Structures are given as structure tokens and as C-alpha cells.
């Protein structure tokens, strides 16, 4: 049985099928890239899995448990951590407290949570900024804070929405190494990413979403040579050129 099993998942917004009958699985410890042109439904898919928006039809089974219709905080505590593309730090709280919130949500003792938060901050190389206000952090540090907050949940699955975008290549490299390390601990990573080189290098498997449907799935090599995928991306470029 897979860690995450998504079956026949659909969601419409006023008639538009944002996610259309999508099936996929993620295994424990696997890194899966979720790509697709803008508006393909990637973030909607994340929001469905994380319980942020209710599903129309279909099921989300996590670690053998049907979590369809669960609230976001219950899903987070069950073991799915997520980051947001538009980062959502607790701006007036310190970096340490930001991470402590996530650690404390499933730990009744605040001191234990603080210790866990410090350990996580150390991992993402934010320990030196622990006492800064989160709102004052530069973008690269905020991205790592998002990751730290998700990691503090001790999740089995991480949904990472564009953690690499907006970073310089020099900032990207250590983060990539960290992601591999996290997966080596047996945590699964599902990442939405626009930085194609990184996602192809990192992922064992790629899912391609187009107009809300799963267009292709396979290894990076299989997917990049798939004619449907090439057409979908070329189509987008033509649209961009025309607009």
C-alpha cells in the first residue's frame, strides 16, 4: 500500500474543472515532482490533499486512512506538512516561535516543542536567525522557514509549493541537498516546481498536470520525451508569445 493514494479526485470552480479525475500514488521516501503549465491545477491539487478546499468527488487515503474531508489542521497533525507558494510566516513572532507553533501542535509540552524547533532550525540553517522577527527575513530565509515549520510537524509527507523559486542558484543548492536528506529519512516529498532543472534532477517520478488532468506520469526521462507533454508546454509558450 502506498503512503498517499489519490483516486478519481475532482474539483470544479464555477463550471471550470480545475482538477479532473486525477489518480496517483506517492510511496514513502519517494520524491515526486508535480509539473504543468500555469493554471494546470497544481496548487488546487495541493489544497485538496491538504484539506484546504473540499473535494467534489474522489478520495484521498493517507497511510491507510481515508482523510477526505478532514480539516487542514487535522491533516497537518496526521502527518502531512506543507509550504505555501506565497509564504505565510507569523510575521510578528520570532523565527523560533514560528516553528515552535508547528512543533507544539502535537506536543503538549512547550519546552519539548521548543527543543524540537531549535533542532529543526539548525537543520535548515536558520539557527542564527532564531530570534529575528519572521516578517523581517529575506526571501531565501523565509522559504527555509516555511520548510522548517512543515518539518516541525514530523511529517511523513511534505507538500512543497515552489520552495526553490525566487532563490539564486547558490541559495538553491544547499536546499536541494537538504530535500534529498529529508527523503532519505523515509519522508515522501511531493513538489510543485517551476525550476525545471532542479525538479528533474531531484525527482524519481514526475506527474504532469494539464487542464486539471493527469497528462503523463513516469521517470523524468520518460516524461520529457513524451510528445503530449512537449505539446502542452509548447502550447503554453505559443500562448505566451501571442499575448
Q: Are 32 and 203 in contact (CB under 8 A)?
A: yes
Query: In whole angstroms, what is the distance from residue 94 CA to residue 180 CA?
Result: 27
Of 118 and 226, nearer to other proteins (C-beta) is: 118
Site for other proteins in 54-113 (CB under 8 A): 71-73, 76-77, 81-82, 84, 88-94, 97-98, 100-102, 104-106, 108, 110, 113
Contact in structure between 22 and 180 (CB atoms under 8 Å): no
Alpha-carbon distances, residue 220 vs 27, 37, 51, 196, 208 (angstroms): 17, 16, 28, 10, 10
CB of 106 to other proteins, least distance (A): 6
Q: Indicate which single residue of 149, 187, 205, 210 sits in contact with other proteins (rule: CB under 8 A).
A: 149
CB atoms within 10 A of CB 101: 14
142 binds other proteins (CB under 8 A): no
Q: Residue 202 Cβ, how far from other proteins at the closest point, in Å?
A: 22
Q: Please, which of residues 178-197 interact with other proteins by CB under 8 A?
A: none
Question: Least CB distance from residue 105 to other proteins, whole Å?
Answer: 3
Size of the site for other proteins (CB under 8 A): 33
Cβ count within 10 A of residue 153: 21
Q: What is the DSSP letter of 77?
A: H
Alpha-carbon distance of 193 to 160, in angstroms, equals 8
Q: Which of 50, 116, 120, 192 binds other proteins (CB under 8 A)?
A: 50
Residues at the contact surface with other proteins, assessed by CB under 8 A:
50, 52, 71-73, 76-77, 81-82, 84, 88-94, 97-98, 100-102, 104-106, 108, 110, 113, 133, 149-150, 152-153
Amino acid at each position: 500500500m502506498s503512503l498517499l493514494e489519490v483516486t478519481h479526485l475532482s474539483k470544479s470552480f464555477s463550471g471550470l474543472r480545475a482538477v479532473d479525475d486525477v489518480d496517483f500514488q506517492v510511496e514513502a521516501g519517494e520524491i515526486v515532482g508535480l509539473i504543468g503549465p500555469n493554471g494546470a491545477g497544481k496548487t488546487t491539487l495541493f489544497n485538496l490533499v491538504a484539506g484546504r478546499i473540499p473535494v467534489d468527488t474522489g478520495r484521498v487515503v493517507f497511510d491507510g486512512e481515508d482523510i477526505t474531508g478532514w480539516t487542514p489542521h487535522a491533516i497537518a497533525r496526521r502527518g502531512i506538512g506543507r509550504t505555501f507558494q506565497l509564504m505565510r510566516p507569523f510575521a510578528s513572532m520570532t523565527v523560533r516561535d514560528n516553528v515552535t507553533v508547528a512543533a507544539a501542535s502535537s506536543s503538549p509540552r512547550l519546552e519539548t516543542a521548543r527543543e524540537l524547533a531549535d533542532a529543526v532550525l539548525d537543520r535548515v540553517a536558520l539557527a542564527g536567525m532564531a530570534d529575528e522577527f519572521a516578517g523581517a527575513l529575506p526571501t531565501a530565509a523565509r522559504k527555509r522557514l516555511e520548510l522548517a515549520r512543515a518539518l516541525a510537524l514530523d511529517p511523513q509527507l511534505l507538500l512543497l509549493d515552489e520552495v526553490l523559486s525566487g532563490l539564486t542558484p547558490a541559495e538553491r543548492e544547499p536546499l536541494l541537498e537538504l530535500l534529498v536528506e529529508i527523503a532519505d529519512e523515509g519522508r515522501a516529498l511531493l513538489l510543485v516546481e517551476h525550476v525545471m532543472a532542479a525538479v528533474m534532477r531531484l525527482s524519481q517520478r514526475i506527474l504532469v498536470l494539464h487542464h486539471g488532468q493527469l497528462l503523463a506520469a513516469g521517470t523524468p526521462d520518460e516524461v520529457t520525451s513524451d510528445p503530449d507533454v512537449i505539446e502542452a508546454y509548447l502550447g503554453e509558450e505559443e500562448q505566451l508569445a501571442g499575448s
